[in-house]
């Protein structure tokens, strides 16, 4: 298929302002179709989920359609899709439910490559259960996290391993299927943070070997919320704290309170939008596989240009050089504070913030302290002109 980025950009009202957005890893802009789906859902009669009134049926349909859409995006069963307000929230919820079964001496493995939302909930749950936390480090120069690094922390007492599918600052994509094999051979569960990978690749959670896979639609052209998917039987085995009158069915037992129906309609629209960039007329899952592969190709091509341009500037330091990576780069400019790079670029309408972006352990491990560095990440709507503007902005700081 031919990926036409200018055609796609016309669907994004926010781009009309002329800003080059490199902060997609923090949250992407949305196509008009997503905003319209939210407004349409809110303007139709809407009640709590139910089967009697049309408004109840609409709410029910919105939820079931969103579960089917997410299942098509990630390659899982609709009944295994749990909606939440954020990935952080749902990871805390799952950690507390899992930790009910942990005992003193059990072990939980986390990595320094992860966003804090896939570290702290496990560290704190382990603390409450008297379990031991074991840390997986990564290579400071390359930013690679290998299977052997993970295997070195596994034991017969390992109950859970939490690892990212892609680092939100360094872009590193660990070899998840191989990690999953090792984790399962140790008799443990694998909780994968898919927040940063999902916008950039076709996902098949079964092929990745994830027992749980969390992601957030606001990173892939959708509205602000999070979700986690798992096999329904995995969810059946867990009993999170919940209100007495609320449903004990799976996945509803994990969804505390009333779901944000209009937001879920936006998520379905975002997934349909992604599928709509495919050229074939096949089912949605097949179209998503095709369109995500095309997005990956488009972003990788632009990313080569971005990396080459940054590497050509002798005063730019690129943090990490992983072989398998998302189109996300973390960099500093010699002699210019990261915050100044961020502000100078912003004055040129180039949005590339500086921070540790909650990948606090990674930032500290790299010697960047709590402040991190400048991050530039590509999105499906990024184009060559955006990249040239960022490169010119950085070059102007060092001229």
Residues at the interface with ligand PLP (CB under 6 A):
25-26, 86-88, 115, 117, 164, 168, 193, 195-196, 216, 226
Q: CB of residue 57 vs ligand PLP: minimum separation in angstroms?
A: 29
**CB closer to ligand PLP out of 28 and 153:** 28
Shortest Å distance, C-beta 134 to ligand PLP = 20
Stated length of the chain: 399
CB 216, min distance to ligand PLP, A = 4
The alpha carbon torsion through 23, 27, 32, 35 (nearest 10 deg) reads -150
User: At closest approach, how far in Å is the CB of 105 from ligand PLP?
Assistant: 29
Min dist. Cβ of residue 287 to ligand PLP (A): 25
Q: Shortest gap between Cβ of 137 and ligand PLP (angstroms)?
A: 18
Given the complex with ligand PLP, which of 326 and 382 has the nearer CB atom?
326
Q: How far is the CB of 29 from ligand PLP (least distance, A)?
A: 15
| Minimum CB distance to ligand PLP smaller for 158 or for 216 | 216
User: Tokens standing for 387?
Assistant: 């990249």
HEC-encoded secondary structure of the chain: CCCCHHHHHCCCHHHHHCCEECECCCCCCCCHHHHHHHHHHHHCCCCCCCCCCHHHHHHHHHHHHHHHHHHHHHCCCHHHEEEECCHHHHHHHHHHHHHCCCCCCCEEEEECCCCHHHCHHHHHHHHHHCCEEEEECCCCCCCCCCHHHHHCCCCCCEEEEEEECCCCCCCECCCHHHHHHHHHHCCCEEEEECCCCHHHCCCCHHHHCCCEEEECHHHCCCCCCEEEEECHHHHHCCCCCCCCCCCCCCCHHHCCCCCCHHHHHHHHHHHHHHHHCCCCCCCHHHHHHHHHHHHHHHHHHHHHHHHHHHHHCCCEEECCCCCCECCEEEEEECCECHHHHHHHHHHCCEECCEECCCCHHHHHHCCCCCCCEEEEECCCCCCHHHHHHHHHHHHHHHC
Closest to ligand PLP by CB, 117 vs 363, is 117
Q: Which is nearer to ligand PLP, 95 or 216 (CB)?
A: 216
Measured in whole angstroms, the distance separating CA 357 from the mean position of its chain's CA atoms is 13
Q: Minimum CB separation from ligand PLP for residue 330, in Å?
A: 13
Query: Is the CB of 33 or the CB of 86 nearer to ligand PLP?
Result: 86
**Nearer of residues 67 and 225 to ligand PLP, judged by Cβ:** 225
Nearer residue to ligand PLP within complex by CB, 153 or 168: 168
Work out how close the CB of 168 gets to ligand PLP at its nearest, in angstroms, rounded to a whole number.
Answer: 3
């Amino acid at each position: 298929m031919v990926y036409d980025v200018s055609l796609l950009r016309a669907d994004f009202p926010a781009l009309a302002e002329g800003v080059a957005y490199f902060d997609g890893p923090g949250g992407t802009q949305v196509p008009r179709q997503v905003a319209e789906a939210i407004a349409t859902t809110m303007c139709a009669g809407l009640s709590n989920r139910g089967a009697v009134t049309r408004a109840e049926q609409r709410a029910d349909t919105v939820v079931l359609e969103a579960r089917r859409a997410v299942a098509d995006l990630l390659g899982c069963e609709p009944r295994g899709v749990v909606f939440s307000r954020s990935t952080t929230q749902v990871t805390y919820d799952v950690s507390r439910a899992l930790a009910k079964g942990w005992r003193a001496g059990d072990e939980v493995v986390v990595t320094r490559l992860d966003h804090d939302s896939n570290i702290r909930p496990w560290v704190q749950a382990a603390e409450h259960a008297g379990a031991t936390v074991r840390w997986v480090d990564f290579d400071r120069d390359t930013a690679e996290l290998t299977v052997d690094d993970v295997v070195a922390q596994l034991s017969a007492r390992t109950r859970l391993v939490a690892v990212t599918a892609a680092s939100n600052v360094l872009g590193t994509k660990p070899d998840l299927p191989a990690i999953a094999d090792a984790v399962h051979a140790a008799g443990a569960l694998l909780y994968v943070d898919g927040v940063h990978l999902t916008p950039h690749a076709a996902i098949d959670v079964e092929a990745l070997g994830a027992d749980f896979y969390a992601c957030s639609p606001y990173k892939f052209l959708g509205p602000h919320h999070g979700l986690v998917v798992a096999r329904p039987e995995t969810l059946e085995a867990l009993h999170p704290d919940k209100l007495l009158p609320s449903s004990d069915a799976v996945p509803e037992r994990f969804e505390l309170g009333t779901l944000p129906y209009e937001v879920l309609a936006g998520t379905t629209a975002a997934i349909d939008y992604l599928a709509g960039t495919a050229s074939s007329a096949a089912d949605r899952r097949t179209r998503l596989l095709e369109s995500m592969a095309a997005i990956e190709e488009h972003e990788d091509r632009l990313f080569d240009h971005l990396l080459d341009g940054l590497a050509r500037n002798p005063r730019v330091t690129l943090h990490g050089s992983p072989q398998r990576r998302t189109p996300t780069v973390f960099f500093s400019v010699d002699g210019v504070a990261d915050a100044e790079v961020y502000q100078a670029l912003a004055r040129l309408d180039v949005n590339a913030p500086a921070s540790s972006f909650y990948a606090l352990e990674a930032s500290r491990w790299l010697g960047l302290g709590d402040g991190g560095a400048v991050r530039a990440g590509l999105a499906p709507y990024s184009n060559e002109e955006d990249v040239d503007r960022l490169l010119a902005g950085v070059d102007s700081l060092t001229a």
